[in-house]
Amino acid sequence: MLWVFYTLYSRANRSTLSPLQMLAGAHAVAAATLLPTAMLERPWQSLAAASWLGITVILYSALLGTPAHIAFYQAVRTVGPGRAAVFMNLIPFLVIGLSWLLLGEPVRWYHAVGACAVIAGVVLATRR
């Protein structure tokens, strides 16, 4: 539900803010929210205690997540928030791939069934 409001907000501000400005604002809000929460949960841990996997995920988010967010904002401007938001349903494909690649999780038959259902839903929702 919050993502819908976020998407609608980004559409409403399309004339005044660039996608990069929207991304900077989103990251600032996320950092302001998540950092204090993380410190409350585990105040005794530091970056030195982070695993290579955690650092890899952070770098992935920074290097690939940023262009993806900018592309999403551009898609909202181009096709509108309703059509752009449908593609958020494709994120689990990325999660399955990263789980397989980074954690060694097996890809099972139900992942394929779910993938087919998601693709069918995206196709149905975006056709004219």
Residues 6+ apart with CB under 8 A from 14: 76, 77
pLDDT, tens digit (0-9, with 9 covering 90-100), for 104-113: 899 999 988 9
- Please count the structural domains in the chain: 1
Quote the pLDDT of residue 52.
77
Quote the pLDDT of residue 120.
92
The residue range of the domain holding 93 is 2-126
Alpha-carbon separation of residue 58 from 8, 26, 47, 73, 101 (angstroms): 27, 16, 12, 21, 15
d(CA 122, CA 113): 14
pLDDT, tens digit (0-9, with 9 covering 90-100), for 30-66: 778 877 777 777 666 655 566 777 777 777 777 777 7
Quote the pLDDT of residue 50.
65
